[in-house]
Amino acid sequence: MNKVSVRQSKFSPIGGCHGRALAVGVSTRALVAALTDSQFRVISVDAFGDQDTQENAIQTIILPQWGTTISELSLQPEPESRRLAESSDGHLAQTYPVFWAGGTENWPEMVTYLASHPELRLLAPSEDQLKRLRSARLWAQVAQQVGLGFPESIDHLGPFGQVAHRSISSRWLRKKVNGGGGFGVTISEQLPTEPQSTCEYFQQEICGTVMGVNFSVAWNRDSAAAGRDAMPEVTLMGIVQSWSSDQWPGPSEFIYRGSWGPVAISLSLQDRLSHLAQLLATDTGITGWLQLDCIEDQHGQWWLLEVNPRWTAGMEVLLRSGVANPAAHHAAAWGYPNLAPLLQVRQPNSLIGKAIFYAPCKLLLTSQRVDQLQSLPREQFADIPSDPMKDRWLDQGSPILTVLASCDPQLSLPAAHKVLLDQLHQSARQVAGILMS
């Protein structure tokens, strides 16, 4: 069984007009910050319980063996268990909302637990919606409808997608149907045969720049009340660009390293991407977050790679830049009131970069090293290890923390790209100095 650590925050924010909410994911720190800005009082459930997660949450529940068993997890760690369902006015709320981050949708036991809990309202796709949204064949279909590419792919039913010889490399990638963040992607140098498992598929590699396109989907219920079909209202919150393997180190070629933005694209491309999001929403009935992973190849063609119906790491860039608070958009789409001031998509106050610092070798997080990391400024560093990480060994490639950077939004995108990356590497050298001393 997992050892579950429950920590009451010493730094708990007092406000929160929307009452309590639950943030669940492998790492919830950025989501917790966004929900706190949206006036929720947040309970965090994740694998790390980072120091800055505790600084924004009223309580952190740590599941270090994420994805295995939740037999010891209880969402009533306080003596008066139903206090977790209290609203801000002191009355007992019927339910309180659950927002999920990366890693939750691929843990069926956790999803079942959250969906069946009598005091929780899961603000996420149903099992059937999730299965449909994670269908690569659906992705290929909607991409073709709006004029985007979709790489040639092979699943247990045979080939699908499109062939475009000018944009593809010679490599095939083996992908997991329920993968995420680049985990589990491997290379096949030869033309694959049809996979026997329904849990994986092959896809021809597209070389280019990875883009995260972030939408929020709400529904016009007035149309349904008037006897017309309800129509999805799709809001493009912003677009971020991922760092490539030659720009930032990581333990594998395809793992998520970080991102920067927001970046601008043409109005015609915005229209096509919004149309694609509307098609997905209409097909599945999804509400709230809808993120598209795309690649822009060297010829300027855009390709859809996958769809994520959850909080994603790149959304923090939008939050910190002042463009949008994706957590507020998601909550409003699910009917939470009094969020209108947070729903405008604005021009950025700054351009933001973030990158994950992975352990360059096996190392010991001594008490002194953790203390030094905890003293780093929060404007430049995030996902800071908390006290339970003291005197633990970390394997090479383990994520240690996130480095952050910002610059003037008036800079050209190429200039901003260089400035942000230089700042991030400078901060990474500071972290390396602490860990290698």
Rg (CA), the chain: 21
Domains and CATH numbers, the chain: 5-124 (no CATH), 131-342 (3.30.470.20), 351-435 (3.90.1170)
pLDDT, tens digit, for every residue of 223-271? 544 444 778 999 999 999 999 999 999 998 889 999 999 999 999 999 9
> Using CA atoms, how far apart are residues 120 and 116, in angstroms rounded to an integer?
8
CB atoms within 10 A of CB 69: 12
Half-sphere exposure of 151 (CA within 13 A, CB side): 28
DSSP helix/strand/coil, 253: coil
Q: Which residues contact 256 (CB under 8 A, 6 or more apart)?
A: 181, 182, 242, 250, 313, 356
Structure tokens at 375: 């003293």
DSSP helix/strand/coil, 2: coil
Alpha-helix residue ranges (DSSP H) falling in 62-153: 108-116, 127-133, 136-146
Tell me what the pLDDT averaged over the chain comes to. 86
What pLDDT shows up at residue 173? 80
> Using CA atoms, how far apart are residues 318 and 107, in angstroms rounded to an integer?
27
Q: Which residues contact 35 (CB under 8 A, 6 or more apart)?
A: 21, 23, 42, 99, 327, 331
pLDDT, tens digit, for every residue of 388-426? 999 999 999 999 999 999 999 999 999 999 999 999 999
> Using CA atoms, how far apart are residues 275 and 69, in angstroms rounded to an integer?
39
What pLDDT shows up at residue 12? 40
Q: Above 50 in pLDDT, residue 216?
A: yes
> Using CA atoms, how far apart are residues 330 and 293, in angstroms rounded to an integer?
19
What pLDDT shows up at residue 68? 75
Q: Above 90 in pLDDT, residue 147?
A: yes
pLDDT, tens digit, for every residue of 74-103? 555 343 334 444 444 444 445 789 999 998
